[in-house]
Amino acid sequence: MSNTQHVRIKDISAALAGQAVEVRGWLRNKPGGKGRYFLWLRDGSGEIQAVAEQSELSESVWADCERIGLESSIIATGTVRQHPKNPDECELLLTDIRVLQEVTDYPIGKKAHGVEFLMKNRHLWLRGAKQSAILRIRSEVQQAFADFFHRRGFYRVDTPIFTPNACEGTTTLFEVDYHGDTVFLAQSGQLYNEADIGALGQVYCFGPVFRAEKSKTRRHLLEFWMLEMEAAYYDHQDNMRFQEEMLAFTVRRVLNNCRADLKILGRDPAKLEPALVTPYPKLRYGECIEIVNDWRAGQLAQAREVGLDEARELLMSGKSVNIRDESFEDKSEQKQRISAFRWGDDFGAPDETAIGASHDRPVFVTNFPVEIKGFYFKDELNDDGTERIDPVFARLQANEPKLVVPGATGHTILGSDLIGSEGAGELIGGSQREDDLKRLEAKIRHHNLPPEFLEWYVDLRRYGNVPHAGFGLGLERTVAWLGGGSDNPLHLRETIAFPRMLHQYEP
């Protein structure tokens, strides 16, 4: 059998009909018996059915077919032919088999297992049809990103993991003893990318980032992968255009190259197609306040079984009201306090769902209040260089002051969050960066950041300062949106091979 052509399952098509091929992989399942087995073979690239007919096989090959159990490793030879029921698919008529390892006690069966058992056996659970399909989509997404950046003339850089300072506060940092000094595991490569563009103009990095989330929920990954772009001579608008074009390109690649995987996941490709069309909708932060409050009133009305008007009145009273939201997996999260969303509040996950639900494709939320964003966001100014007051803020302050967080200025930044459709939440956060030296220094003081650690960063505004912008994309959330969305929502822990969560660092 060693003379037969070895083919990967994904490459078996009608073009090979009538030919003998060799498949090297594992047995996924074995329905049949009484003279005929349907051997479901998988090799990592896909799955194919090999029909084993007792009448066509030698006694020893048939005996092998009878004895092998799930996840036995086998090399099978067969003749390619059209699948009798699914003319788009092929199957094999088995001619020979070599059993490398007979397995009869594979621990993951067809019965439903609890999450704890599956996570403990993640090294085996990965082989499941759904889990491996997710990982193939993840791989395609990564290659699509790399290709998009390469075609646009961007250079890949690798930003450091060990960092002396934190750009967004220190409460969720992992510390490392670095030969007697304390350093932190990076939560972003952005500041370094801003230096890298001085050398390379347009760059991206892709690597792990770390957040020591203390939340008891199992929704957060403590280690996840982030794609970060930075480009010299890009403004806020260029930045959003790049993001939407990159995402449309990636969606196209997944639709073209991962059809079989989407099918395994029960993911309807039609729901991703709107994201192929750019530009994506853009909503200013101020415009979202009403959307979020409408949605919160709806939630409250449902929970309290009251009319929408009454719920709205309750919401606007300025107090917070308890409701129960059973969509959360963890009981501890189901008890929710709900109150009116005010200018100056930051969006929570349900708010992002509400905003995302208003469109069939990802939507940008732009121009957030300066108070809720990091020190490096560029201020939105009037043409004369004075600080702009957002008109929604002005209207709220005049007419509905309860809907304004005390102390809010109405000043906004030139940045955006890209919210995925179907409740996917924030996929990308980006902005033009503050390139006014004095404003940047003032913000560093205002945020109480240690200026000595940022001296090098401020240098970038002193020597060859240029307008520039960039963004960060969370890979796991993007994969969850692409592979699951609202059809069969994926848990973040399924979107990476070996997730790291609170109390979960094995295997």
Q: Which of residues 425-464 bind a second copy (CB under 8 A)?
A: 453, 456-457, 459-460, 462-464
Residues 138-157 that bind a second copy (CB under 8 A): 138-139, 142-143, 146, 150, 153, 155-157
Q: Which stretch binds a second copy (CB under 8 A): 79-87, 301-309, 351-359, 499-507?
A: 499-507
Provide the minimum distance between the beta carbon of 417 and a second copy in the complex, in angstroms, as a whole number.
24
Question: Does position 295 bind a second copy by CB under 8 A?
Answer: no
Q: Which member of 1, 115, 170, 233 binds a second copy (CB under 8 A)?
A: 233
What is the longest distance spanned by two Cα atoms in the chain?
89
Q: Which member of 49, 77, 95, 159 binds a second copy (CB under 8 A)?
A: 159
Residue matched to tokens 């290709």: 147
Closer Cβ to a second copy, 347 or 376, answer by number: 376
Give the whole-angstrom CA distance, residue 116 versus residue 122: 10
Question: Does position 190 bind a second copy by CB under 8 A?
Answer: no
Task: List the structure tokens of 209.
Answer: 């980032």
Q: Which stretch binds a second copy (CB under 8 A): 188-196, 240-248, 358-366, 374-382?
A: 188-196
Could you tell me whether strands 223-232 and 468-474 are parallel, antiparallel, or unpaired per DSSP bridges? antiparallel
Of all helices (H) and strands (E), which one includes residue 295? Answer: helix 285-304
Q: Which member of 14, 30, 44, 172 binds a second copy (CB under 8 A)?
A: 44
Extended beta strands in 34-145, E state: 36-42, 47-53, 73-82, 90-101
Question: Does position 115 bind a second copy by CB under 8 A?
Answer: no
In 3D, which of 209, 203, 190 has the Cα closest to residue 373?
Answer: 190
Give the whole-angstrom CA distance, residue 119 versus residue 116: 5
Question: Does position 123 bind a second copy by CB under 8 A?
Answer: yes
Bridge partner list, 386: none
Q: Which member of 14, 303, 306, 466 binds a second copy (CB under 8 A)?
A: 466
Closer Cβ to a second copy, 9 or 300, answer by number: 9
Question: Does position 163 bind a second copy by CB under 8 A?
Answer: yes
Question: Does position 329 bind a second copy by CB under 8 A?
Answer: no
Separation of CA 159 from chain center? 20
Closer Cβ to a second copy, 288 or 454, answer by number: 454
Residues 359-378 that bind a second copy (CB under 8 A): none
Per-position x/- string for 75-114, each x denoting binding to a second copy as judged by CB under 8 A, each - no binding = x------------------------xx-x--xx-------
Separation of CA 313 from chain center? 37
In 3D, which of 245, 204, 253 has the Cα closest to residue 225?
Answer: 204
Question: Does position 281 bind a second copy by CB under 8 A?
Answer: no
Helix (H, G, I), strand (E, B) or coil at 17: coil
In 3D, which of 281, 293, 295, 265 has the Cα closest to residue 366?
Answer: 281
